[in-house]
Structure 1
């Protein structure tokens, strides 16, 4: 490394200011032990979900440490009282027997405070940049000893002096799905925002979390099936095919499909298939087709099948339904198949959106979300090895509504898609034309090809 590169590396360095623990406030009504359900088991093999929220907050280090940070910690403690299992430990006994979250006296969430010399506005933009530059902004979850035991949640607040701050969130997917994570984050943020003059009252957005596990019925024994599959696949490494962490020249970029562009694509799909697709299906289909084109380049073999995976919320699909505030995972696994030559062809976006739309419609049939559920765990390993594109997040989560009192986030990134073969999706900001925001992490050349197909595809709408 030359002198100039060394100086640049020092400038971008993230300096740790404090490592601390934030305990839940006293008086929690949450259970001491919370068993996982079959919905949770599906996500045991996955890396933790990592998000970073960028906020514009032009203040000095001293003001941040003396003013904003104490409010963050106090409101976090109050929020954790309601979401007590997030401060507990995920315990995985040998042979995948009865995984659970355990809470005990002395539980607390690791909270790191740091200062970055990097450029907040560049990191929180849409342009392609080195994916590794976001790594210092998200904390790790460190495993304990003995029976596999690890914390559920870790947090990091990183100050960019004079510009803003980044809040890094790392959470075990097997404990909390996107809805539960959003419920907690909005509760924490609202509690922080509404606190005045040192007086804080917890504000559970949408109501307190529900820990009632009896609402998750398992008449067909999916829990036993999934635990047996996980034990059988314990040494299986096929999910590593998704993992780009540690690879060189990996870029992260965001792409926006505006409301107007989605409407134009919808008219095109309806004209060719008579289907009226949701904005989600249209945007995902458009991205899937562009990515297939970027990957196949000259090879568009007509007999090769491409796969696309997403999750569907099952709280309302349960019979009877689970409450919207149910704490844990309640997601069904969905897989879409399409011919590679169709996706790489001139009407690839139409073919992809149509295939996704048809799969979503089948979910509305009675029991449709659970059709083939017994294969969910095995399918994840099988399809990971085949390079399936999956989706992280949902515009329904409203992550851009997480406001601690500094305004809505400038940008929200799902850092962990680098390890899970996923595209992230969220609501786009109105100043960007509304619509949907897509995040991708790809090798440099593949990102360049994708960007070209994406731009050209939008021009043709």
Structure 2
């Protein structure tokens, strides 16, 4: 599609330079219809996952359009050849059928090119920034019937500073592992060169679409379809959604490997438990947030996270399996305990006990309640986790180097904390939170104080 004339989006500092649709390159052997599994059903009620990757790239708009954009488009087309369902449409089975992804010869992914007048280095920092500043950087999923498109992409140039890649993907068709697999494949082709029409697995192994490997001895598909139907008018998930408020800010908190190690050593010396860095970091954030909110009022507090199940199934699924394969985990603790000086330890121990219980088939204990639990706990102020340091998203290099920063914008819609490897060294963690401004101030002060206590040991 030919480039459109630049269109300024009022009130955003964004100019749309081009809107096009990128089709998968020919030669795909991906099935035309791909059914969802019970793992996918869990995420059907959720908003799409939205991330922004910021890259240093000091060039003009004309240089970007001439030297970089053609490679992005061609490599995307080649990557979509093996990841064709991402260019397809989600059908929710309104006529009585089951949800599925359908592929056709007209499939394509909406691809927007834009220019921003915002301050690249400021918006890609760690400090608290208005969430509204990120809206112009992530594209909406185009409207469709019965579910519609599942992926939209946007590249935004900040002239002579950098570029932002915005990704919006339906969580019902891809978990973090699948999204990371696609992005690394696309970036690898772009970085290494396409070699004409070389196969996309020049960058990574192709995805696996074999749904027969997902066994369902508990009949979870039937249970989840029933629960989804019952929850169609349930509005409790709205309690997690902060979108539309003008006081919500997004901030990133870095926990270095040295800090995580010291926290773990102090926790071990006091409790005798050897917790993972993920557990220690999550417990610290959870306890600080409970206290920053003014205390629990004596109620039970909840923390939720997902665990990868590809290796937990019997037989295990390939690491390249396309779709969702996550288990839902719930942790609870007394709010008064989390508010105290030992709150981070207590929270970490509670999380670690649940993680240890995942072994030996424990990941599916109570699985029949996953969808109902998600809705029932939404109104309790539960803190959940988006992302994982294991995804390695800072390895997504299109030839511009590693990202300077990655933001998960959609945590504003789920009141989750995002977690990723620290982009600086890959060993520490980056924690993202979207909170009302005053709550963010209180949380930041509490976290700084508790980190001082850990460093003093």
Q: 1:317 aligns with which of 304, 312, 320?
A: 312
Aligned to 2:416: 422
SS in 1 for 2:357: helix
Task: Confirm or deny: 8 A CA contact 1:11 1:118 kept in the other structure.
Answer: no
Q: 1:301 aligns with which of 297, 303, 313?
A: 297
TM-score by length of 2: 0.95
Distance 2:195 2:308 in 1: 39
Distance 1:97 1:373 in 2: 23
Task: Confirm or deny: 8 A CA contact 2:75 2:194 kept in the other structure.
Answer: no
Task: Confirm or deny: 8 A CA contact 1:141 1:170 kept in the other structure.
Answer: yes
Summarize the alignment of residues 108-123 of structure 1 with structure 2, pairs less than 5 Å apart.
108-123=108-123
- 1:236: Cα distance to partner? 0.5
Aligned to 2:4: none
Aligned to 1:178: 176
Aligned to 1:6: none
Aligned to 2:321: 326
SS in 1 for 2:201: coil
Aligned to 1:14: 14
**1:358 and 2:356 are equivalent in the alignment:** no
Aligned to 2:185: 187
Q: 2:450 aligns with which of 445, 448, 457?
A: 457
- 1:96: Cα distance to partner? 7.0
**1:253 and 2:247 are equivalent in the alignment:** no
Distance 2:212 2:200 in 1: 27
Aligned to 1:3: none
Unaligned runs of 5+ in 1: 1-8
SS in 2 for 1:368: helix
- 1:95: Cα distance to partner? 7.1
SS in 2 for 1:94: coil
Q: 2:282 aligns with which of 284, 287, 307?
A: 284
Change (3 A) 1:114 1:351: same
Aligned to 1:5: none
SS in 1 for 2:200: coil
- 1:143: Cα distance to partner? 2.6
Change (3 A) 1:104 1:282: same
Summarize the alignment of residues 388-427 of structure 1 with structure 2, pairs less than 5 Å apart.
388-427=382-421
- 1:386: Cα distance to partner? 1.0
Number of residue-to-residue matches in the alignment? 446
Distance 1:330 1:253 in 2: 29
Distance 1:205 1:344 in 2: 47
**1:437 and 2:435 are equivalent in the alignment:** no
Change (3 A) 1:388 1:62: same
Distance 2:199 2:32 in 1: 23
Which 4+ residue blocks in structure 1 deviate beyond 3 angstroms?
Answer: 9-12, 196-201, 203-206, 299-302
- 1:219: Cα distance to partner? 1.1
Unaligned runs of 5+ in 2: 1-8
Q: 1:341 aligns with which of 320, 332, 336?
A: 336
Summarize the alignment of residues 126-145 of structure 1 with structure 2, pairs less than 5 Å apart.
126-145=126-145
Task: Confirm or deny: 8 A CA contact 1:95 1:231 kept in the other structure.
Answer: no
Distance 1:200 1:376 in 2: 42
**1:41 and 2:41 are equivalent in the alignment:** yes
SS in 2 for 1:51: strand
TM-score by length of 1: 0.94
Task: Confirm or deny: 8 A CA contact 1:183 1:205 kept in the other structure.
Answer: no
- Larger mean CA deviation between 377-386 and 199-208 belongs to 199-208
**1:203 and 2:198 are equivalent in the alignment:** no
Task: Confirm or deny: 8 A CA contact 2:189 2:203 kept in the other structure.
Answer: no
Summarize the alignment of residues 48-59 of structure 1 with structure 2, pairs less than 5 Å apart.
48-59=48-59
SS in 1 for 2:238: helix
- 1:206: Cα distance to partner? 4.2
Distance 2:50 2:96 in 1: 24
Distance 2:256 2:96 in 1: 44
Superposition RMSD on alpha carbons, in Å? 1.5
Change (3 A) 1:166 1:388: same
Change (3 A) 1:205 1:370: farther
SS in 1 for 2:189: helix
